[in-house]
Each structure stands twice: as structure tokens, then as C-alpha cells.
Amino acid sequence: MDQAFAQRRRRDLIVAACLAGLAALVPLFVKDVYYQNIMVLTLMYAALSQSWNILSGYCGQISLGHALYFGLGAYTTALLYTKFGVLPWFGMVAGGLISALVAMVLGYPCFRLRGHYFVIATIVIAEITLLLFQNWDWAGAALGITIPMKRDSWLTFQFARSKLPYFYFALALACIAWFVTWWLEDSKWGYWWRAVKDNPDAAESLGVVVFNSKMGAAAVSAFLVAVGGGFYAQFVSYIDPESVMGFQFSLLMALPAVLGGIGTLWGPALGAVILIPLTELTRSYIGGSGRGVDLIVYGGLIIAISLARPQGLVSLFARKPKADARPVREAVAS
């Protein structure tokens, strides 16, 4: 591997560690619960979008149905706890494993589909699951599940008074999702995924097992998103099908990555840090919910970014091209 690349990866890791350290200090200064709530959501969406990015960004299989895995994680965690008393820590892992399994079972037929046929299949499958959960009486049907609040405890991961434990969990989740991406980026899988994204036929002919690559990406992606779903169930302590499996989650997972830069290491985090506070704040200052102001902000941003910066905002931070990559005129002048 060439040295500049190794150096860049080391630098990425150091920058990430510093940013995580700084982020961990923020709630010590920002004590307002409203702002802490926004920070928790921002970190959660950073983690979710980072996970979505593995399948849709790196591997190029655009999923607009990831709410399915988010919902499965939330439901597994909540159902295991309320019905069987299984602690949410195990519930989150169980939810992750179930989702990874589901992702592979669904991937088996779906990964034969290409382009729009695939995108629509992901939407449709998430929608079917949503409808089934709305009619599944044992799981609370459309009314959902309330997770009973007992007392603040790390064991059951519930905290009525403080947002801090949620904040640190969400931070840890975002760090894990980032680190998994960082680690996979330079693994065999990472190269396979990019090859599959760029040209599946060429990749296949060069010996990349395209199908397995997609399956691997789907499983990792679904696992992490489901853990996020389990976390969300604990955080809001009430879930129903529409609020954890609705299409808006599929969208909200994709948007930060689209905004920040699809298929990039830093894109999802950057996108989440801009998008989530922006919409939360506009919602509370301008509109109030139900007026659609958040949708106007999202929609306007997506159009503007995808037209003006198709590589995402992260490209603004890209270093200047090397001397030999400059336009001829400029090179001659210097």
C-alpha cells in the first residue's frame, strides 16, 4: 500500500479520536436538556447514516428501506424486555443479529435486481413489514409498545432525569460505526465494494464475488442500524410501527450521507452535524411541527446539494490537487 494513503488513514484515525474526545466534553458545558436532546439525535443519525453508507455508499446498493432494520432493532429490544425481561443490552445485540440475518435472507433475491428495481424493492419490503407490524396484535399492533419506566439504571438502560447516558451511548455508537467503516475501507471488502459499485460486471470478471460482497455489506449495515433502533426504543421509551419503521427513517438515514458525501468516510457524520440541528432548530423557531417547515428545509437542501455538490459537502475539505494535476495554463504560469 502506498505511503501517502497509509498516512492519510492514520491521520483520519487521529482526527476522529480528537473529535470524539471533544464531543464527549460538550455536554459538560451545554446543560440545557433541549440542546442535549438535539445532540443525542445528531449522534444517532450520524451512526445510522454511517451504517447506511456501507451498503448504499460504498457498495452502491441504494436502499430506501433501511427503516426496516431500524424498526426490527427497536422492536426486538422492546419486545424482549417487556415480554421476557431480557435486558436491552442483549436485546440490542439480538436485534442486530436478527436484522443482519433478515438482510441476508432478503438480499438473496434482491441483489439480483439492479438500479431502480432494487430501490423500489427496498421501499416495498419495508412497507410490507410496516403493515404486518401494524396488524400484529402480540407486538402491540398499531398502538405500539410502551417500555415501562422503573428507575434510572445502567442495567436496564433507562434514565428519566438525565440525557447524558444516552448521549454517551449515541456517541459510542457513532464512533463504532465510523471505526467499522474506517476499518473496512482498507480491507478486502472495502475494495470489493467499491469495485461492485463502479462496475459490477468488470468486478465479477476480475474475480470479485459480487453477490457475497453485497451480502456482507447488507449484513454489517443492517446490524449497526438495528443497534441504533434498539437504542432509540430505550431513548424514547415508546415505539409504534409508524414511528420506528416509517419511510421517514429510511429517508433520514440516507440524507446525512447524501448531504455530506455518499461513499465517503466523513460524509455521514458531517451531514448529520449540519442537517439534524438545522432542522430541529428551524422546526422549533419557525414552524412548530405539522407545518412542514422541516420538510421544506430537507427538500431544499437535498435538491441544492445534489445539484451543486454531487460529491457531497465533504469535497469542500478535500485538499487541493497536486501540482501535476493543475490545469495546464496554471502550471505554465507558475
Partner 1 sequence: MGPGVRQDDIETGLEHGAKPVTAETIIQSLASGLLMGLLYGLIAVGLALIFGLMDVVNFAHGEFLMIAMYVTFFLFAYFALDPLLAAPLVAAALFIFGAVVYLLIVRFAVRAKANTGMVQIFSTFGLAVLMRGLAQYFFTPDYRSVTHSWLGGKTISVGGIYLPEPQLVGALIAIAAFAGLYFFINRTDFGRALEATREDAGAVALVGIDKNKVFALGWGLGAALVGLAGAVMAIFFYVFPDVGASFATIAYVTVALGGFGSVFGAFAGGIIVGLVEAVTTLILPASLKTVGIYAVYLLVVFIRPRGLFGSI
Q: Which of 15, 128, 209, 236 binds partner 1 (CB under 8 A)?
A: 128
Query: Which span sits near partner 1 by CB under 8 A: 115-123, 211-219, 220-228, 320-328?
Result: 115-123
Q: Compute the residue count for the chain.
A: 334
Cell 442500524 sits at which residue?
225
- Residue 195-234 contact track with partner 1, rule CB under 8 A, x = bound: ----------------------------------------
Measured from the CB atom, the residue of 103 and 297 that comes closer to partner 1 is 297
Measured from the CB atom, the residue of 167 and 266 that comes closer to partner 1 is 266
The residues in 271-310 that bind partner 1, with binding defined as CB under 8 A, are 287, 290-304, 306-307, 310
Measured from the CB atom, the residue of 215 and 301 that comes closer to partner 1 is 301
DSSP class per residue in 267-309: HHHHHHHHHHHHHHHHIIIII-TTS-HHHHHHHHHHHHHHHH-
Q: How many residues bind partner 1 (CB under 8 A)?
A: 49
Q: Which of 13, 19, 20, 119 binds partner 1 (CB under 8 A)?
A: 119
Phi, psi (deg, nearest 5) at residue 292: 80, 10
Alpha-carbon distance 235 to 229, whole Å?
A: 10
- Residue 32-71 contact track with partner 1, rule CB under 8 A, x = bound: ------------------------------x---------
185 binds partner 1 (CB under 8 A): no
Alpha helices in the chain (DSSP H): 3-29, 33-53, 67-84, 88-110, 115-134, 164-185, 188-198, 200-205, 210-236, 241-245, 247-260, 267-282, 293-308, 328-333
Q: Which of 134, 237, 243, 284 binds partner 1 (CB under 8 A)?
A: 134
317: exposed, middle or buried (Cβ count in 10 Å: 0-12, 13-18, 19+)? exposed
